[in-house]
Amino acid sequence: MQIKLSKLSPFNRLRKPSRIERNPKLKYSLILAVLLIAPYLLTFGVEFIQRRSIHDTLNWMTVHSNLLNLNVLIDFLIVVFVYCLLGSLIPSLAVTSLLLVLGSLISYFKIKLIGVPFFPWDLKMNKEVVDILPLVMNASMLRYIVVLVVFIGLIFLMRLLLPRFSLPLITRISVGLVSLLLLYLFAIKIPPVKWLMQKSQVSNILWNQQQNYSLNGQSLAFMMNLQNSKMPTPDGYSEASIKAIADKLSTQSLTASAKVGGSIPATTKKPNVIFVMNEAFWDPTLMTNVTFSEDPVPTIHQLQKETTSGYMLSPQIGGGTSNVEFEVLTGDSVSFLPNGAIAYQQYIHKPLPSLASYFSGQGYKSLALHSYVSYFYNRENVYKYLGFESFKSSENFINPEIKGGFIADDEFSRNLIEEVDKTEDPMFIYGITMQNHGSYEGKTRYSNLPIKVKGNFTPAAQQLIDNYTQGAHDADHGLKLLIDHFKQSAEPTVIVFYGDHLPMLGFDYDVFHQSGFVQSGKPEEWSLEEIKKMHSVPFVMWSNMDLPNKSFPIMSNSFLGAYVLDALNLKMPAPFAANFEVSRKVPGLISNLVIDADQKLYAEVPEKDKAVVEQYKQLQYDELFGKKYLADFIDQDYLNKGPNPKYNVEFKK
């Protein structure tokens, strides 16, 4: 391979050609040495960011030398590809360093904030990242960014001291394509790659991606997750297996009125069915070592005494709102998707039956209402596929009240009431608020903090819990506005109110740790009981109709729709009827926690419940990724329903 020396830079023109420049063999040796050494240095830097300790990083590199070499191989291929793309060695090293180090920083902060690392599908969230960045930017993150910029700048300065080692065009094209092909083959894991990974004792820990990245290294774990975007077929999935499930559902009576299929009786006045998923809503009074000058969530506490209520087991902590929507609206579970997956971004690209399409089929107007931008999490497209008739986002709020940096929860409630009052048909509304979104830093987020919170907190953590408590209080008041209005309404109405996940209260779950709510800031050290606490959000179900009151110790989000249909004596579509049956045996189901009917906690599905959970998994695969066999045997109208032809006409005028 012949290495050419490009025209000298202005700096180099002022001096005599160096020994390197006069000796092609030396130049070749130098470039080869750089290409071999740089990936080791990059791998060290990437892993040091994650582990925050030179000792721990070197220990991982020596104990897991096999995994180190796989990470180095991936980084080497990336360096070579970028080199062939740009044609200059030093700038290529700078660009590659920027990409890998930036990815490591993103992963570090994601783990600190919400407990999950950087995934390939996060790259699809370019607009969302721009919006989220100001919310999580703080002094610590700024320091890292400054160091990164200085580091990359120093690499670029080396260009003034060293010549530009360029390659012939044909060599760049051929070597670049080979490196790209090898990266692709690594991602899809062809047999030789599988053999290499088995030989290197790679463990792809899908159910715990934080551990997956920590053990295998950032580059290797990220590469393995490229293949995880495609769902494997569950064992035993076939037309015959789905037909057997359909036959069972066709004959099974779940309650006196909740049978599969059917519709709401024409003689019954149809109630408005309103779901309000309040951003990061949680009850801060659950922290036993913390006191409040007044009850921050009095409406919730009153409703917990008087109405159907309980706790929902969310798959998320601190973020991932759309996954909770996905579970509630479809009845599907993200527990069966790769850990860290974002269903809205990755999997919903065609019609998918949901509560929205179900109620539309019953003569309802189905409306999604969100006090934030329409493109976030691809909602503007996903809601069409889920069968909503309309989607009112923040772009359609007129001169809204702003509080805490976002549209106020009271404003959200006023808009919801307006939509119900102006619509003659009964309404199904899925509402998502925004006011209480993190971050909760800043002394100026709220002009007044009347509720005084006392606990053994650092000043930084105190600021977080003060701001969060005010947001939770305002969320509670927003719910009160809705209830006060519909108490006076002649329209029968049901309101289901809950949070999507616990809030993001500092790095390493600072507030929860300092209050004693959990004994460690590291999720891998949490007990099963602590995992349950960190994933449990309160929910209440209020109605101006005469409905029986029930108490639910725990319920996964994916089962909520079935319980609401059952409470209203509505006949369930097949997937929700199947969910209802699963929930009787396994009411709590997330990737790292299973809760059975006796409220016993397990790290994985116990043997006695594996059959019913496997049935649940097969139905979800059939609906999302498979052949849609179920629609051939049962509930064809619901399962085959396409997008509403009038989707969002009213808000696109």
Pick from 182, 203, 228: which residue ends a domain?
A: 228
Q: Quickly list DSSP for 281-328.
A: ---GGG-TT-EESS-S-HHHHHHHHHSEEEEEE-S-BSS-HHHHHHHH
Same domain, 254 and 201: no
User: pLDDT class for 186, splitting at 50, 70, 90?
Assistant: confident
- Residue 574 exposed, middle or buried by CB count within 10 Å (0-12, 13-18, 19+): buried
Least confident of 291-295, 297-301, 445-449, 469-473: 445-449
Whether 653 maps to a domain, the answer reads: no
Q: What is the pLDDT of residue 135?
A: 56
534 pLDDT higher than 70: yes
Same domain, 539 and 594: yes
Whether 649 maps to a domain, the answer reads: no
Pick from 228, 262, 286: which residue ends a domain?
A: 228
Q: What is the pLDDT of residue 117?
A: 85
Average pLDDT along the chain: 87
Same domain, 336 and 311: yes
Q: What is the pLDDT of residue 94?
A: 85
Let me know the angle formed at the C-alpha of 383 by 380 and 387, rounded to the nearest 5 degrees. Answer: 145
262 pLDDT higher than 50: no
Same domain, 247 and 98: no
Whether 10 maps to a domain, the answer reads: yes
Same domain, 433 and 499: yes
Q: What is the mean pLDDT of residues 623-638?
A: 94
Q: What is the pLDDT of residue 653?
A: 63
Pick from 173, 193, 228: which residue ends a domain?
A: 228
Q: How many whole angstroms separate alpha carbon 354 and alpha carbon 575?
A: 9
Q: How many whole angstroms separate alpha carbon 378 and alpha carbon 369?
A: 14
How many other CB atoms are there within 10 angstroms of residue 140's CB atom?
Answer: 11
User: pLDDT class for 408, splitting at 50, 70, 90?
Assistant: very high
Let me know the angle formed at the C-alpha of 594 by 593 and 598, rounded to the nearest 5 degrees. Answer: 135
Same domain, 129 and 246: no
Where is mean pLDDT largest: 227-231, 393-397, 518-522? 393-397
Q: What is the pLDDT of residue 257?
A: 40
Q: What percent of the chain has pLDDT over 90?
A: 61
Same domain, 168 and 307: no
Q: What is the pLDDT of residue 339?
A: 79
Same domain, 250 and 143: no
527 pLDDT higher than 80: yes
Same domain, 146 and 189: yes
Whether 650 maps to a domain, the answer reads: no
629 pLDDT higher than 90: yes
Q: What is the CATH number of the domain that holds 312?
A: 3.40.720.10
Same domain, 369 and 476: yes
How many other CB atoms are there within 10 angstroms of residue 6's CB atom?
Answer: 11
Which pLDDT tens digit goes with each residue over 293-327? Answer: 999 999 999 999 999 999 999 999 988 899 999 99
20 pLDDT higher than 80: no
Q: What is the pLDDT of residue 258?
A: 43
Q: What is the pLDDT of residue 14?
A: 44
Whether 57 maps to a domain, the answer reads: yes
Which of 437, 410, 405, 554 lies closest to 503, judged by CA? 437
Whether 43 maps to a domain, the answer reads: yes
Least confident of 89-98, 240-249, 527-536, 591-600: 89-98
Whether 331 maps to a domain, the answer reads: yes
Q: What is the mean pLDDT of residues 141-164?
A: 65
Whether 233 maps to a domain, the answer reads: no
User: pLDDT class for 157, splitting at 50, 70, 90?
Assistant: low
Domain range holding 44? 4-228
164 pLDDT higher than 90: no
Which pLDDT tens digit goes with each residue over 38-69? Answer: 899 899 989 988 888 889 899 999 999 999 99
Q: What is the pLDDT of residue 22?
A: 56
Q: Is 167 helix (H, G, I), strand (E, B) or coil?
A: coil
10 pLDDT higher than 70: no
Which of 512, 376, 370, 379 lies closest to 440, judged by CA? 512
Q: What is the mean pLDDT of residues 189-208?
A: 81
Same domain, 376 and 423: yes
Q: What is the mean pLDDT of residues 500-505?
A: 94
- DSSP E strand boundaries for 404-500: 406-407, 427-432, 453-454, 493-499
Query: For the chain, how many structural domains are there in total?
Result: 2
How many other CB atoms are there within 10 angstroms of residue 194's CB atom?
Answer: 11
Q: What is the pLDDT of residue 5?
A: 44
Same domain, 261 and 202: no
Provide the sign of the torsion angle of the four alpha carbons 32, 35, 40, 45, taken in this order. positive
Q: What is the pLDDT of residue 319?
A: 86
145 pLDDT higher than 80: no
Least confident of 124-138, 331-345, 387-401, 463-477: 124-138
- At how many degrees (to 10) do helices 54-63 and 65-86 cross? 100
151 or 389, higher pLDDT: 389
627 pLDDT higher than 90: yes
User: pLDDT class for 596, splitting at 50, 70, 90?
Assistant: very high
